Chains A and B, each alone.
Chain A
Amino acid sequence: MNGLQSLSNDLAAAVDRGGRSVFGVNGRARLGSTGVHWRQGLVVTADHTVQVDEEVAITRPDGRSLAARVAGRDPTIDIAVLKVDAPGVEVADVADSDAVRVGHIVLALGSGPRASWGVVSSIGEGRRARSAAGDLFHLDLTLYPGFSGGPLVDVQGRVIGINTSGSSRHWQLAIPAAAVNRVVDELLRRGRIPRAYLGVSTQPVRLPEALRQKLNLDQPTAVIVVEVQSGSPAAAAGLSIGDVIVSLGATRITDPTDLKSALRPDKVGESITASVVRGGEPRDVPVTVGERPRRT
């Protein structure tokens, strides 16, 4: 057998192994998506593909259908976790996603199983790639319709991330397994996935050159606070309308999306420093990240 044939066998074996923990997810009209049996009884999928709030029909690798419940969501990284009773379905072998390098051969799996292959083309490069998930994997492969929420596996069939085309269909991204683990761990620890919040509304704002030089900032933009909700963590911290937030913790804030991304579920209860500009002067404001009250 030559090298190519053994590569081919490895790829088919990886699909076989990875596919044993792959579910079909029917959480939206028309197009289904894919999910991964991440921990015993918990199936992870892409949040944007689950448009129902409670019961979701899912399909086991052996084709049998069953009902799952939405156990929690983290829209900031596009992950939803479903609770399911699926004895006999293997739990995915989740690998260390920090070991993934640009150029590694990877496979994207859909339920069926279906598969596409390619390489990791970049990690965390570009605007969209900065997210609450940390550095996302950009993929040089095709995510076919229905592949969102499915596993990105290495040539050994180990899961290194969750694929998503976002809601745009034009992206081939994967959320690293480490970020998915954080969400699942939060769910197991608290029994739910909290939504972190500060209680401010913001708009992007351009930083004048003179101010950037004065404060030694290299970012061209930041966000300006246009509303502070009463009783919110931001109000308690003394943030006020007109404050310009340039960073939150270690995250640079260049637009409102950055702010959302910085507010990961596991930050709830943590005190972080908001670096703001108030009246042209820099100021550090400690804020305790709150949990967004649930709508009743």
Chain B
Amino acid sequence: MDTLIDIAELADDLRRVTVEVTDADELLGSGLLWPPGHVVTNAHVVRRPEVTLRLSDGRSLRARVRARDADADLALLSAPGSGVPAATLAEADTVRVGSFVVAVGHPLGVRGALSTGIICAIGPIDRGGRSWIQADLHLAPGNSGGPLADAGGRIVGLNSRAAGPLALAVPMEQVARFVRAGRV
């Protein structure tokens, strides 16, 4: 079925822009090659000034934490010389409840694992809380900081945590705002 081939290609494309964030061989989480020359991930993934990134082709490079915001749970790392084109972001208005989404990351150390689902809701999970992209999709520790992408492989959010069977991702426009502030 064509649709299944599409999913396999989508997963391959996303694995190229998804890094493993490690330190001394310990897997800390996932990260997204975006914007060019940088990696974004969750603040809770990088609690130290420098980490090692492992790319999907097996290469490793050291990366320094350029900015970190524990409240937003976001961190920006400088990662020049990866040679991999950065990820493409989705337009915010294409993110709809019901849209097919995929997550790529390294849950429980499984490299480049793919999960599929749909957008369940967009907004806070508790009244007055922050806004999330809530996806009907399974995440596990190690997915943190990895991409949530639409059916065209464009990034809609950064997977941050699970609320039971629900995946919570930081919307990409929040990530972009953080990056603009952090790059100076």
- Using a CB–CB cutoff of 8 Å, the interface residues on chain A facing chain B are 2-5, 7-9, 11-16, 19, 107, 110, 112-117, 141-142, 144
Chain A residues, CB < 8 A from B120: 114-116, 144
Chain B residues, CB < 8 A from A9: 99
A12 in contact with B6 (CB, 8 Å):
no
B151 in contact with A16 (CB, 8 Å):
no
- The complex places the Cα of A81 from the Cα of B121 at a distance, in Å, of 26
A14 in contact with B98 (CB, 8 Å):
yes
With A11-B100, A15-B98 already in contact, the answer to whether A4 and B10 are too (CB < 8 A) is yes
- The complex places the Cα of A117 from the Cα of B101 at a distance, in Å, of 12
Indicate if B96 sits at the interface (CB-CB under 8 A): yes
Indicate if B89 sits at the interface (CB-CB under 8 A): no
- Looking at chain B, what size class is its interface with the partner chain? 20 to 34
B97 in contact with A116 (CB, 8 Å):
no
The 8 Å CB contact of B98, one of A4, A5, A107, A142, is A107
Chain B residues, CB < 8 A from A4: 3, 6-7, 10, 100, 151
Question: B125 → chain A, closest Cβ, in Å?
Answer: 10
A7 in contact with B100 (CB, 8 Å):
yes
Question: A100 → chain B, closest Cβ, in Å?
Answer: 19
Chain B residues, CB < 8 A from A117: 98, 117-118, 136
Question: B163 → chain A, closest Cβ, in Å?
Answer: 10
Chain B residues, CB < 8 A from A115: 97-98, 118-121, 136
With A12-B96, A12-B97, A115-B136 already in contact, the answer to whether A5 and B118 are too (CB < 8 A) is no
Question: A61 → chain B, closest Cβ, in Å?
Answer: 12
